[in-house]
Amino acid sequence: MLTVHTSPLHQPGTGDAGGMNVYILELAKRLAAIDIEVEIFTRATSAALPPLVEPAPGVLVRHVEAGPYEGLAKEDMPGQLCAFTHGLMRAWADHGPGHYDLVHSHYWLSGRVGRLAAARWGVPLVHAMHTMAKVKNAALAGGDTPEPAARVIGETQVSQAADLLIANTGKEADELVRHYGADPARVAVVHPGVDLDRFRPGPSGIVAGRAEARARLGLPQNALIPLFAGRIQPLKAPDLVLHAVARLLEERPTLRERIVVPVVGGPSGSGLAEPKGLQNLAAQLGISDVTLFHPPAGQEQLADWYRAASVLVMPSYSESFGMVAIEAQACGTPVIAAEVGGLPVAVCDGVSGVLVPGHDPANYARALRSFADDPARSARMGAAAARHARTFSWDRAAASTAAAYAAALRDRWGVHASYVAARI
Whether 334 contacts 368, CB under 8 Å: no
390 is an annotated ligand-binding site residue: no
168 is an annotated ligand-binding site residue: no
307 is an annotated ligand-binding site residue: yes
151 is an annotated ligand-binding site residue: yes
221 is an annotated ligand-binding site residue: no
Q: Which own/partner pairs from 25-28 qualify as long-range (CB within 8 Å, at least 24 positions apart)?
A: 25/55, 25/59, 26/193, 26/195, 26/394, 27/192, 27/193, 27/394, 27/397, 27/398, 27/401, 28/1, 28/56, 28/59
405 is an annotated ligand-binding site residue: no
DSSP secondary structure of 252-275? -GGGGGGB-EEEE--B-GGGGGST
Q: Determine the Cα–Cα distance for residues 297 and 295; give it in Å rounded to an integer.
A: 6
69 is an annotated ligand-binding site residue: no
20 is an annotated ligand-binding site residue: yes
17 is an annotated ligand-binding site residue: yes
178 is an annotated ligand-binding site residue: no
Picking from 72, 92, 84, the residue whose alpha carbon sits closest to that of residue 3 is 84
74 is an annotated ligand-binding site residue: yes
Sign of CA dihedral 179, 183, 184, 188: negative
327 is an annotated ligand-binding site residue: yes
Q: Determine the Cα–Cα distance for residues 158 and 155; give it in Å rounded to an integer.
A: 5
11 is an annotated ligand-binding site residue: yes
276 is an annotated ligand-binding site residue: no
421 is an annotated ligand-binding site residue: no
Q: How many CB atoms lie within 10 A of CB 309?
A: 32
Q: At what angle do helices 377-389 and 323-330 cross, to 10 degrees?
A: 110
23 is an annotated ligand-binding site residue: no
- Return the half-sphere exposure (C-beta side, CA atoms, 13 A cut-off) of residue 127: 30
161 burial (CB, 10 Å; 0-12 / 13-18 / 19+) is middle
Picking from 350, 347, 351, 300, the residue whose alpha carbon sits closest to that of residue 322 is 347
DSSP lists the bridge partners of residue 61 as 40, 53
12 is an annotated ligand-binding site residue: yes
Sign of CA dihedral 404, 408, 410, 416: negative
Binding annotation for 1D-myo-inositol 3-phosphate: 5, 16-21, 74, 107, 131, 151
Binding annotation for UDP-N-acetyl-alpha-D-glucosamine: 11-12, 19, 231, 236, 319, 327
Binding annotation: 5, 11-12, 16-21, 74, 107, 131, 151, 231, 236, 306-307, 309, 319, 327, 333
